[in-house]
Amino acid sequence: MATLLFRKSRTLLLAHNNHQHLQNKLALLVRTRSRSSPFVNYCSNSRILPSSSHPFLPSSSRYESTEAQPQLEDLQHQVTHHDDQMIDFPGGKVGFTSEMSFISDTSHIRVPCYRVLDDDGELVNHTNHVQVSKELAVRMHSEMVTLQTMDSIFYELQRQGRISFYLTTSGEEAVNIASAAALSSHDVILPQYREPGVLLWRGFTLQQFAHQCFGNTNDLGKGRQMPIHYGSNKHNYFTVSSPIATQLPQAVGAAYSLKMDGKSACAVTFCGDGSTSEGDFHAALNFAAVMEAPVVFICRNNGWAISTPVEEQFRSDGIVVKGQAYGIWSIRVDGNDALAVYSAVHTAREIAIKEQRPVLIEALTYRVGHHSTSDDSTKYRSTGEIEYWKMERNPVNRFKRWVEKNGWSSEKDELELRSSVRKQLMHAIQVAEKAQKPPLEDMFTDVYDQLSSNLEEQERELRQTIEKHPKDYLSDVPL
């Protein structure tokens, strides 16, 4: 199965027509794990979960632990350390004990969450984060505001019946923009569906977003996808796929392809907390660990998988501990803290490329908006809860405070920015709405070099049906 997934992902990557040449290959960093890990240096305010905590792995193992879990430490004193009392089992020596003890289901102390900015936009004490320049910070804030404005307008368009579907990133703007800012344009993105900010950061224009949502002839997908299912070869952003978690094992295959080709780049894939209940999530993590693929998994734990709260979805301490179980370095970050997200993703990328290993990031955030325009979240959560996260823990406002305290922007600058973005969007919508729809034949092309007989038959039947019932079909679609 893993081989098939790799082959599929490699084929997808090689078919990436406009895929730019990546930077020269960095020499693989061959060393045992030590406390000088980049994660420990940059994220000293948070606990890093090592990929293994067993004391009897060979010293040359790339998964040698730097810090063991407390619950396992309680068992280690029971282990006999004499060589004749160990079994040399595949993966390393395992000690024996005469005491029957079970590892508990979860630790009583939850894994802490790495943060750089407090809720007021102030740097927390003793933080050691990746520094962000004025230019980068101002752009991050600008793109978060743009994303927020775009979501608001397109959501209203759907409510007016002008587009068929939409979902917002409200409350998750920091995960979108800060992660994108920390990556290289050469890194390959395999999104879920709530990461348009990554594409926005990479240069996808507001006009292109509008074309896709209206599904016209200027849409790169030729109107074949639902709104918000963006994709762009030019921007190394694979097309959004609705089925949950399918992008995760594909990302591992893409990452392994980059590794085989000696590229100085990694694959980055996003998912929500609901995706961790899919088998593809677990297959992907195990696949990545075993193949030592340079892939960064970013899980947006926003509290809700549509209407299912996390406490009804898993018993573990969130998602971060799942990485450790599969032998992957993992970290939990405050997903509403743009600086924390930027630092964690920047560091994870370095680890993935220099050390050729996967990394899992759990970003604690909150989905302020409804799951989509097909959902009414007030049916399963209180308006008070929504308002608290919208007002008190707003990621855009928090980052804005920090930028303004540095004297890099002002309230006036933001008001002018919002006005400018709104004007650009309204113009883009007018253009996209007037553009011609793709011809009917585009429904069947671009899959096979020559149209197969069954597709030819389907097209004939569709045209015959339209002729019989012309009023049931859109008149602006060229036949």
Q: What is the mean pLDDT of residues 169-193?
A: 98
Q: Which of 77-86, 385-394, 435-444 has the lowest mean pLDDT?
A: 77-86
Share of the chain above pLDDT 70, in %: 82
Q: What is the pLDDT of residue 77?
A: 57
pLDDT at 364 over 70: yes
pLDDT at 102: 85
**pLDDT for residue 21 is more than 50:** no
- CA nearest neighbour of 361 among 35, 33, 67, 43: 43
- Higher pLDDT, residue 429 or 28: 429
Q: Are 188 and 412 in contact (CB under 8 A)?
A: no
Q: What's the mean pLDDT when you consider all of the chain?
A: 86
Q: Label residue 402 by pLDDT band (50, 70, 90).
A: very high
When pLDDT is averaged across residues 336-360 and rounded to a whole number, the result is: 98
How high is the pLDDT of residue 91?
82
Residues 287 and 126: their CA atoms lie apart, in Å, by: 37
Is the pLDDT reported for residue 469 higher than 50?
Answer: yes
Which letter does DSSP use for residue 439 in this model? P
What is the set of active-site residues?
156, 242, 371-372
SS3 of the chain: helix, strand, coil, percent, to 5: 45, 10, 45
Q: Where are the domains positioned within the chain?
A: 2-95, 134-433, 444-472
Q: What is the mean pLDDT of residues 175-190?
A: 98
Closest CA to 431 of 229, 222, 207, 226: 207
Mean pLDDT value of segment 287-299: 98
**Position 222 confidence tier, pLDDT thresholds 50, 70, 90:** very high
Q: Residue 474: which pLDDT band, with cuts at 50, 70 and 90? A: confident
Which of the four pLDDT bands, split at 50, 70 and 90, describes residue 225? very high
CATH placement of domain 134-433: 3.40.50.970
Query: What is the secondary structure of 361-430 as a DSSP string?
Result: EEEE----S-SSTT--GGGTS-HHHHHHHHHTS-HHHHHHHHHHHTTS--HHHHHHHHHHHHHHHHHHHH
Give the pLDDT score at 71.
Answer: 55
Contacts of 458 (CB under 8 A, 6+ apart): 444
Among all chains, which residue has been given the structure tokens 């999104």?
191
pLDDT(398) > 70: yes
Residues 316 and 295: their CA atoms lie apart, in Å, by: 23
* pLDDT tens by residue, 184-201: 999 999 999 999 999 999
Task: Please report, for residues 318, 398, 399, the alpha-carbon distance to residue 338 in angstroms, rounded to integers and kept in the order given.
Answer: 20, 8, 6
Task: Please give the residue that has the higher pLDDT: either 81 or 314.
Answer: 314
DSSP-derived pairing of the beta strands 359-364 and 295-301: parallel
Average pLDDT over every residue of 467-477: 90
pLDDT tens for each residue of 194-220: 999 999 999 999 999 999 999 999 999
Rounded average pLDDT over 2-29: 39
Q: How many residues does the chain have?
A: 479
The radius of gyration computed from the CA coordinates of the chain, to the nearest angstrom, equals 24
Rounded CA separation 146/103 (Å): 48
> How much is the pLDDT for 270?
98
Tell me the pLDDT tens digit for each residue of 55-112.
223 333 343 433 334 455 555 555 555 656 888 888 888 888 888 888 887 777 899 9
- State residue 440 phi and psi, 5-degree precision: -60, -35
**Residue 179, Cα to own-chain centre: how many angstroms?**
8
Residues linked to residue 192 through DSSP beta bridges, in sequence order: none
**Residue 49 has what pLDDT?**
55
pLDDT at 22 over 50: no
How confident is the model over 248-278, as pLDDT tens digits? Answer: 999 999 999 999 999 999 999 999 999 999 9
